Amino acid sequence: MDSPPTAASPPHAPSVHDDHTSASHSREHVADPSGREAALQTLRLGPRGAATVASIALSIVLLLWLLFYLLVFLPRGPVE
């Protein structure tokens, strides 16, 4: 009778067969490595993109707050 699987032995342990070939055995299936200049260019532009996304998000939040203030709080009048 088989014993129940434990943490040390998963129920279906992966096995490697001799006839198995990886998808990366051919160069056409592997991503083209980028050069040093391409990597540096990406790193230079990365913070600019993050700042753009953050600026757009902040602008939307401030616009919604302003609309809420103008359309909800001001029409109610002063609180007594």
Buried b (16+ CB within 10 A) or exposed e, 39-55: eeeeeeeeeeeeeeeee
Q: 41 in a domain, yes or no?
A: yes
Using alpha carbons, select from 69, 66, 47 the residue that is nearest to residue 58: 66
Q: Which two tokens stand for residue 68?
A: 């809420």
- The parent domain of residue 66 ranges over 36-76
| Structure tokens given for 17 | 């067969």
Look at the chain and report how many structural domains it folds into: 1
3-state secondary structure (DSSP) of residue 9: strand
Is the residue at 50 inside a domain?
yes
Q: Is the residue at 58 inside a domain? A: yes
| Residue 43 covered by a domain | yes
Within a domain: 6: no
Local confidence band at 62 (pLDDT 50, 70, 90 cut-offs): very high
- Tell me the whole-structure pTM to 2 decimals: 0.47
On whether residue 45 sits in a domain, the answer given is yes
12 domain-assigned: no
Q: What is the pLDDT of residue 60?
A: 98
